[in-house]
A and B are shown apart, each in its own frame.
Chain A
Amino acid sequence: MAEYIIETPKGKWEVICGLEIHCQIISKSKIFSGASTEFGDDVNENVSFVDAGMPGMLPTLNMECVHQAIKTGLGLNAIINKYSEFSRKNYFYADLPQGYQITQFQYPIVGEGFIDIDLEDGSSKRIRIERMHIEQDAGKSIHDLDPHKSFIDLNRAGVGLMEIVTKPDFRSPEEAGAFLRKLRSIVRYLGTCDGNMDEGAMRCDVNVSVRPYGSDELRTRCEMKNVNSVKFVMQAIEAETRRHIETYESGGEICQETRQFDPLTSSTKAMRKKEFAQDYRYFPEPDLPPLVLDDAFINKIKEEMIELPDAKKSRFINKLGLTSYDAMVICENKEVADFFEKAAEGHDAKKIANWLMGDFFAMLNRKNLTIADSPVSAENLGKLVELISKDVISGKIAKDVFEIMADTSEDPEKIVEERGLKQVTDTSAIESIIDTVLTANPDNVASYKAGKGNLIGWFVGQVMKQSQGKANPGLVNKLLKEKLDQ
Chain B
Amino acid sequence: MSNRIDVKKTYKLFINGAFPRTESGRTYEIKSAKGVFIANPCQASRKDLKDAVVAARAAQPGWNKASAYNKGQILYRLAEMLEGRRAQFVDEITSVTGVTKIKAEKEVTESVDRLVWYAGWTDKLSSLSGALNPVAGPYYNFTIPESMGVIAAIAPETPSLLGLIDSIAPIIVGGNTVIVLASTKAPLSAMSFAEVIATSDVPAGVINILTGKKDEIAPWMASHMDIDGLDISGLAPKTHGEVRVAGAENLKRIYSFKSADPGRILAFLENKTVWHPIGL
Are these two chains actual partners, yes or no?
A: no
Chain B residues in the interface with A (C-beta under 8 A): none
Q: Give A contacts to B, CB under 8 Å.
A: none
